Structure 1
Amino acid sequence: MEKRVIMFPLPLQGCINPMLQLAKILHSRGFSITVIHTRFNAPKASNHPLFNFLEIEDGVSEKEKDYNVMSLLAQINRNAESPFHDCLRKLLLQSQESEKISCLIDDCGWLFTQSVSESLNLPRLVLCTFKATFLNAYPIIPLLRTKGYLPVSDSEAEDSVLEFPPLRKRDLLRVIREDEVELGPFLRVTVETTMRSSGIIFMSCEELEKESLNIAKEIFKVPVFAVGPFHSYFSASSSSLFTQDETCVPWLDKQEDKSVIYVSLGSVVNVKESEFLEIAYGLYNSKQPFLWVVRPGLVQGVEWITLLSEELMSSLEEKGKIVKWAPQQEVLAHRAIGGFLTHNGWNSTLESICEGVPMICLPGGWDQMLNSRFVSDIWKVGIHLEGRIEREEIKKAVRLLMMENEGEKIRERMNVLKDEVAKSVKHGGSSFRSIETLATHILSL
């Protein structure tokens, strides 16, 4: 009997990519895949002909480009529950004797899917698209203020957060940001529904956070499957919501080995106009070749690179290339890339580790703060800018990483970490074994 898995990603680039990568992994293990998705930020079904795609309404405008992520999550959780329930119920009714729908796999950011799956008697597995270490902190984050960690005085800014290592107290403000009122209830529901699920799938591996994976089992009391890095099992997935500028690859072909600093702050992070200019001058003053992704909307209210004067733009073009979006996995794997100035989203951090590219950390917030601390303080495979978006700091970090002895030591540590993570996805590795266990678990549901 054919076994089908229903998958339901959050409509964010950093959530869609891992879900479709996981779908490829499960399909390779013999499962048929149906992807339910929102109309907002819908994935391109034509790029994934092996899967079935079903679209539901979500009440979010397609033209809504500048959105607060917390507000977006609240809105789609309110609007998508009924359409999702109806869609899933129809699928279950339509399933034939020759096919069994084994389970639902959805993002932990969906708050209603556990109740819906229970009402339809369908097991649900939770996909976590960030570090297990961060999910483990979900029960703690709403309590940080009552524990006295907030507000943070200048004298305590560098102190460690004992319940949330390796974060420092000043990092907490950028984890919580302005969404604290909405955040507490969101996290509590996420924890409660995850504890009622049939298991958690992490885009991680034991080599990166074995202790945290064991702690996750204790906190949530469900099976845990660390099967990442997902993208290591297949070539780059065509699931980008943005049009990729392929001209950057032939440009990289003309550069020397490990000479280019790749700069991308991801699909959601925004910067101020002044910060954007500081990055531009920092890159120019570093005198290093660079490939800079300037996503439309990176600077709110500004049309792409219009802030750059003709003189500055001309100077930048002498050393680097600016694109609206890049095929990141292909870029990071290119021989010319020597460093990555990144926001430290978990996808980007994993991709950088897998290609052995050391990082300059410029986190925007949320789990990026934790990822960047692991990169700089635990694994020691990158440089943390500590929120200083200043041309001199950027120049110093780029030159240190690309030209100085300390940068070479960072690169050596990154190569060791790369090799350890690479072993996890090979036959007999921790992630490979976890995929086999996951497939068996789904078949038993």
Structure 2
Amino acid sequence: MDQTASSAKPHVLILPFCAQGHIKPMFKLGQLLCHAGLRISFVNSEHNHQNLLRQIDLLAFQAQYPEFSFLSIPDGLAVDHPRSGLTSGDLFLPPARSVMTQHLNELITGFIGRNTKPACIIADGVMCFAIHVAREFEIPSITFRTYSATCTWAYFHFKTLTQEGLVPLPEGVDMDNPVTCIQGLENLLRNRDLPIMCRYKVAARAVEFFIEETSIMAQASALLLNTFDELEAPLISKLRSIFNKIYTIGPIHSLYKSYIKSNLPQSNGLSNTSGSLVQEERSCMTWLESKPPKSVLYVSFGSVVELKQNQLLEFWHGLVNSEKFFLWVIRSDLISGEKDAGQNVPAELKEGTMDRGCIVSWAPQEEVLAHPAVGGFMTHSGWNSTLEGIAAGVPMICWPLISDQQVNSRCVSDIWKTGLDMKDKCDKVIIEQMVRDLMENKKDEIRISAEEKGRLAQESVEKGGSSYNNFEKLIEDIRSMALARAHESS
């Protein structure tokens, strides 16, 4: 492509946090912006950069996205650092942040030297050092919080919760007591629905970190959210008291498909552009083809959550005893401290799984949830998974453990009424009963609500829908940023 034509395109630098759940939606955003005619620099940590490229047919990808560049910076951790489970918190510590800040500075300096200064930086909501860097270079910044609007609003109240002595939760407190100091959520959240870090004094530094990051987020030019207006309008409205501009463009994975269809009907897409850092096992799709409609429970606890061996067995007994078909993602590192999860299980569980189950190490989740055979989703309630379940119209059983998951599961059960909340319980009898309740009630309130939310999600990403229009506005505003910079430099 002609260099002059290339450099004339607005240049956007995208910086996700160093975890799959954050990389995935921001990678989709980068592809969407590239389809819209922008030039993208997608900046991963060196560790995740290599993992992502291993899952992509790079030649095919670059043929479809010639203006999409994969770049990387060090994350400040040792090469042999596991970067998983609790150890991923080391990415929040000052040494790692200092290294990433330094190398982001150097990267942007290089762009300026080549006369390709970004028109804007879109940074993850927990990579807020990028907002300071953007200000130093006089570049507009957009913060992309990869949580729900509801959870984002809750995080803005962490400071109030700590000042009033409500966090960390006092010893012996009733976990079902309501949390009344978060405006708009007074009658929804209980102590047990706050992010897990709020329960422990030893996590006080983590709470402080998120208070600091959330405060810096408010300094960005705009907030970008992977949600849709029809799902979270009241809380999106609350966030407008903090941000002058908010772009709600979710579900991003659905918008991606809709936008390509509307603007590039000749495009057949790519075989793997999901943003997954691990290899997907597609054999499960063949297994699903042999099952009746809405007969399979899909089970996945995401890419980070770790279980104990006894918890794994409780889930396994509950699933087998429910006598329902189930497709279960068991990562090799799912069990804390073990490298080969799911091997040492009783014979009766293996037999029950042979009859009714399919186990894979990783699945093409969006395709699985959209398959007619899938009638339920047992999930850790990470936001990507929650939104993918909502978009597919599939009712959920929520078992949250970390981060935003507690808030999401409460929203699923008590606001959107698209699922059941099983937090703080891990008992085979309860699991069996919840699976039966979800899978056997074909026309109950939960299933009807799930299907309705799925319809609204789809409408939001179609041409003329709220998320589609908001994405068009985002493109328009980025082009205006680029034009303003061009005028300043001329």
What amino acid is aligned across from residue 174 of structure 2 in structure 1?
Answer: E
Moved more, 29-38 or 311-320: 311-320
Note if 1:189 corresponds to 2:212.
yes
> Structure 1 residues 153, 380: closer, same or farther in 2, change over 3 A?
farther
Q: 1:70 aligns with which of 84, 89, 106?
A: 89
Cross-structure match for 2:237: 214
Match of residue 26, structure 2, among 19, 24, 39: 19
Contact 1:382 1:410 (C-alpha < 8 Å) held by counterparts: yes
Q: 1:94/1:153 Cα in 2 relative to 1: closer, same or farther (>3 Å)?
A: same
Superposed CA deviations along residues 250-279 of structure 1, whole A, max 9, x for unmatched, are: 001111111000000001111111111100
Cα distance, 1:152 vs structure 2: 5.0
The answer to whether the Cα contact below 8 Å between 1:111 and 1:189 also exists between their aligned partners in 2 is no
Map 1:259-270; keep pairs closer than 5 Å: 259-270=295-306
Q: Which of 340, 358, 370 pairs up with 1:321?
A: 358
C-alpha contact 1:9 1:107 (8 A) present in aligned 2: yes
Question: 2: distance between equivalents of 1:46 and 1:193?
Answer: 37
TM-score (normalizing by structure 1): 0.94
- Give the superposition deviation at 1:323: 0.8
Q: Which residue of 2 aligns with 1:370?
A: 407
Question: What is the 5 A alignment of 1:34-433?
Answer: 34-42=41-49, 43-44=52-53, 46-47=57-58, 48-49=61-62, 50=65, 51-65=68-82, 66-68=84-86, 69-74=88-93, 76-95=96-115, 101-150=118-167, 151-152=169-170, 156-164=174-182, 165=185, 166-172=188-194, 174-178=196-200, 180-219=203-242, 221-235=243-257, 237-302=273-338, 303-404=340-441, 408-433=444-469
The 1:173/1:33 distance shift into structure 2, 3 A limit, reads closer
Counterparts of 2:160 and 2:403 in 1: how far apart (Å)? Answer: 16
Q: What do residues 71-106 of structure 1 show as CA deviations (whole Å, max 9, x unaligned)?
A: 33325323211111101210122135xxx6311111
Is the 1:357–1:411 contact (alpha carbons within 8 Å) kept by the matching residues of 2?
A: yes
Q: Distance in 1 between matches of 2:256 and 2:195?
A: 37
- State whether residues 28 and 274 of structure 2, in contact with CA within 8 Å, keep that contact through their aligned partners in structure 1: no
Cα shift at 1:291 = 0.3
1:62–1:395 distance in 2 versus 1, CA, 3 Å: farther
**Contact 1:293-1:323 at 8 Å conserved across structures:** yes
8 A Cα contact 1:362 1:384, kept in partner = yes
Count, aligned residues: 440
Deviation at 1:213, TM superposition (A): 1.3
Contact 2:194 2:407 in 1 (8 A): no
C-alpha spacing 1:408/1:137, structure 2 compared with 1 (3 Å)? closer
CA spacing shift, 1:246–1:349, aligned 2, 3 Å: same
In 2, the alpha carbon distance for the partners of 1:77 and 1:196 equals 18
RMSD of aligned alpha carbons = 2.0
Deviates more, 1:223-232 or 1:59-68: 59-68
- Of residues 17, 29, 39, the one that matches 2:36 is 29
Q: Could you say if the C-alpha distance between residues 81 and 422 of structure 1 is closer, same or farther in structure 2, counting changes exceeding 3 Å?
A: same
Aligned equivalents of 1:34 and 1:290: distance in 2?
40
Mark the runs of 5 or more structure 2 residues left unpaired by the alignment.
Answer: 1-7, 258-271, 482-490
Checking the alignment, whether the CA contact within 8 Å between 1:381 and 1:410 is kept in structure 2 is yes
Q: TM-score, normalised by structure 2?
A: 0.85
Give, in angstroms, the shift of residue 59 of structure 1.
Answer: 2.6
Shift of 1:123: 1.3
Give deviations 1:301-352, integer Å, cap 9, x for gaps: 1222123134422332221011111000010011110000001111001101
Whether the 8 Å contact between 1:197 and 1:222 is mirrored in structure 2 is: no
Tell me what 2:3 maps to: none
* Alpha-carbon distance between aligned partners in 2 of 1:108 and 1:157, rounded to the nearest angstrom: 28
CA–CA separation in structure 2 for the residues paired with 1:63 and 1:336: 41
Secondary structure of the 1:207 match is helix
Q: Distance in 2 between matches of 1:4 and 1:190?
A: 25
CA contact (8 A) 1:77 1:111 kept: no
* Unpaired runs of at least 5, structure 1: none
- Matching residue's letter, 2:417: K
Q: 1:273 touches 1:307 (CA, 8 Å); kept in 2?
A: no
Q: How far did residue 238 of structure 1 move?
A: 3.0
Q: Which amino acid aligns with 2:234?
A: E
Per the TM alignment, residue 137 of structure 1 is displaced from its structure 2 partner at its CA by 2.2
3-state secondary structure, aligned to 2:11:
strand
